[in-house]
Structure 1
């Protein structure tokens, strides 16, 4: 139930972020790729304060000091569970501070995320929109590949087929009809989500190199999703509330690391002339604020979705945004509207079918694991009675 709610929230917020980011870059002319990436990832720092405010409003009658002590204790114990990969901490484990572990974890997870998101912006002017969309969204496949060795995911035919159908849907959307004539609107799940300049009017000169760059980004984004599940999510069996609480907290840690460290490329890009640093003003600033807040909402929901389910299911679910954005484009006013092609409908239907297939396969797997645990408990009780 929680996963379903946050899935809907993530789809809505990502659609808002994508449309506003495209409008900012294409209509308002504020095309600052890395700066937008810095703002959007930095906005994740708001997740924990907003979560704390909501929790405080829910428990307004509780005095602040007991409320704060309990909140910190839950976060600390959850971090210790993640560090030691167990729900049952020993006295020695419960006394160890998880701060150092979480700092290093935040650092390398953020770096993987930033490189993956930044690769999209690097490749946007080097390759075609269709190649960009198709290759980057193959991250769902790489999420499954990395899940096998890192999360000990079993190779199941149903899941493999679902991922293949999802990627086929992306290929239909990317290469069908007039895909080559338009800029990409789906910028990926980590970055600004906006398309770059209209680079499909002529054949890009560095298309092969651009495809290699975005291919590396696709691999890294699949790796980031699995890495987050491996090193920053509570072990299986943890309560959903604790998992959601820590997901937003870790998202804030990523945002804080981004604000404190990843500003360094901004002056380098400015003085080299690759991207002049200019703060947005007026309507552009207002639209950017909406886009940034929408990205923070999407990112928090997406982290929770991975924590409660799996990187593979979450990655395929995120592909639904391709079809949703296409539907929204039809309803935009005036010259902002984009006709919905038959290929977009066909590809969207394939992605939806893949998500349903994967959901059913995941539910069956969870049910199988639950029954296996019940059998193990029953057998242990029988052994105790015999003893």
Structure 2
């Protein structure tokens, strides 16, 4: 990501403090300071990691409960509408914007609130215009160079104008893009997008508007050792980030819910828990985290556990002990397991890219981030109902009974609460610890199936689940965050 993007942010730069968190384009980036969160909930003396793990346990319980609520109406096709369910669940995230807005309104008044929102929207529109103009300039100069290349080639083919001037013109047209920004090679049309962007960046830097993004993989120890500090993303930057990731987030959750129509909660939980493995793999490929032989052993062990579980599912042996769980063919189970696995891949990619873009999870206001994700899903995804209805993939119809309505609403509230606790767990620990910790949903889901469906999994199934959990714990140990003590000691993170 380059520094001229509207959502770039960095660390270690001087700031003029902003008194208005809703001023998305404010020159100031708010320094990270989670001070007061533990005090507000009466746990100021509790260690960050301890509180984070406790909130992670809340997330594990609520996520498992949400899966069983969805499975109750999906598995027997009582109301198999995954798009409707995920749309409603994700839309509930937008509720977190209400208390933030009311608090700002109460503090600053209606007039200042209207001005702040107008200012934010104006700057977002300006960002859009800048991006469109940049793309248009690139397309125009590219097309111009293409026309000149074609004309020069035609002259060469016809044997006309084969002299130094034509060759120089042809070469200059072809390499114009390389010369932009160096002060000597504008295109024929007078556009010099490179210099123009550099000028814009210089003006922003002079005003202290938006600093350059930190290098990918920059850790807390690197920044604290250099005397720097983390800075929270502004509302403007968080808005762009949430817009970019809202579709990815929705896709991961849609696959995780839709798979429950075809496979059991236990199998879906095991496959989706592989997200930590994919997170490690993607982080290693992108350079966010080093990949070691020990971590590779953990990944292989996890794959072995998954192979045990999937072999039982696909062989149909699990059907013998399914209890009251509806019958599913091997093909249906395979489709459900594949969707759950794809959900884990998308989640792993989401976490990795976000780590690259943000640098550290504490720089993001998670409730604001998820609130904006929910808002964008409400605004942008409603045409999906029309498309799915017309294609017959998911005909739109309201829930048939009050019981189904109650399950859907309870599931939405449970998802909202679990994702907020997940967000705070992310702030208090690390993304990898939280992702790995979600593997605890595996044994919990197996116990839940015994209670809800009287389904008792075979011993080999439990062995596979145990191997997966063990591999998660092993990888978690190998990926222990060396910066945790620094973050605990640094006043800016208390």
Q: Indicate the TM-score class for this superposition, using the shorter chain for normalisation.
A: 0.5 to 0.7
Among 354, 364, 372, the alignment partner of 1:228 is 354
Alpha-carbon distance between aligned partners in 1 of 2:109 and 2:472, rounded to the nearest angstrom: 40
Query: CA offset at residue 14 of structure 1?
Result: 0.7
Among 366, 379, 390, the alignment partner of 1:260 is 379
Alpha-carbon distance between aligned partners in 2 of 1:329 and 1:223, rounded to the nearest angstrom: 30
Q: Which one has the bigger helix percentage? A: 1
Corresponding residue number in structure 2 for 1:3: 52
Query: CA offset at residue 222 of structure 1?
Result: 0.9
Equivalent pairs, count: 328
The structure-2 alpha-carbon separation of the partners of 1:353 and 1:175, relative to structure 1 and needing over 3 Å to count, comes to: same
Corresponding residue number in structure 1 for 2:445: 325
The structure-2 alpha-carbon separation of the partners of 1:19 and 1:132, relative to structure 1 and needing over 3 Å to count, comes to: closer
- Per-residue CA deviation, residues 174-225 of structure 1 (Å, 9 max, x unaligned), is 3337874669xxxxxxxxxxxxx96842546x96x98877665443221012
Q: Is structure 2 residue 91 aligned with structure 1 residue 42?
A: yes
- Per-residue CA deviation, residues 126-157 of structure 1 (Å, 9 max, x unaligned), is 99999977765443222112223546212234
Where structure 2 has 5 or more consecutive residues not aligned to the other structure, the ranges are 1-49, 121-208, 215-222, 320-324
- Per-residue CA deviation, residues 38-66 of structure 1 (Å, 9 max, x unaligned), is 1122222234546899xx8xxxxxx9527
The structure-2 alpha-carbon separation of the partners of 1:213 and 1:4, relative to structure 1 and needing over 3 Å to count, comes to: closer
TM normalised by structure 1 equals: 0.67
Q: Per the alignment, in what secondary structure is the counterpart of residue 288 of structure 2?
A: coil
Q: Is structure 2 residue 311 aligned with structure 1 residue 269?
A: no
Greater Rg by CA: 2
Corresponding residue number in structure 2 for 1:379: none
Corresponding residue number in structure 1 for 2:251: 115
Contact between 1:24 and 1:30, CA under 8 Å: does it hold in 2?
yes
Q: Per the alignment, in what secondary structure is the counterpart of residue 83 of structure 2?
A: helix
Q: Per the alignment, in what secondary structure is the counterpart of residue 365 of structure 1?
A: coil
Q: Is structure 2 residue 494 aligned with structure 1 residue 358?
A: no
The structure-2 alpha-carbon separation of the partners of 1:135 and 1:35, relative to structure 1 and needing over 3 Å to count, comes to: same
Query: CA offset at residue 266 of structure 1?
Result: 0.5
Where structure 1 has 5 or more consecutive residues not aligned to the other structure, the ranges are 57-62, 184-196, 375-387
Contact between 1:320 and 1:351, CA under 8 Å: does it hold in 2?
no
Corresponding residue number in structure 2 for 1:287: 407
The structure-2 alpha-carbon separation of the partners of 1:147 and 1:311, relative to structure 1 and needing over 3 Å to count, comes to: farther
Among 2, 5, 20, the alignment partner of 2:69 is 20
Corresponding residue number in structure 1 for 2:239: 103
Among 288, 296, 312, the alignment partner of 1:160 is 296
Contact between 1:43 and 1:296, CA under 8 Å: does it hold in 2?
yes
- Counterparts of 1:43-192 in structure 2, within 5 Å, are 43-49=92-98, 64-65=106-107, 84-85=213-214, 98-119=234-255, 136-150=272-286, 152-176=288-312, 180=316
Query: CA offset at residue 3 of structure 1?
Result: 1.8
Query: CA offset at residue 359 of structure 1?
Result: 3.6
The structure-2 alpha-carbon separation of the partners of 1:149 and 1:310, relative to structure 1 and needing over 3 Å to count, comes to: farther
Alpha-carbon distance between aligned partners in 1 of 2:451 and 2:264, rounded to the nearest angstrom: 25
Query: CA offset at residue 274 of structure 1?
Result: 1.9
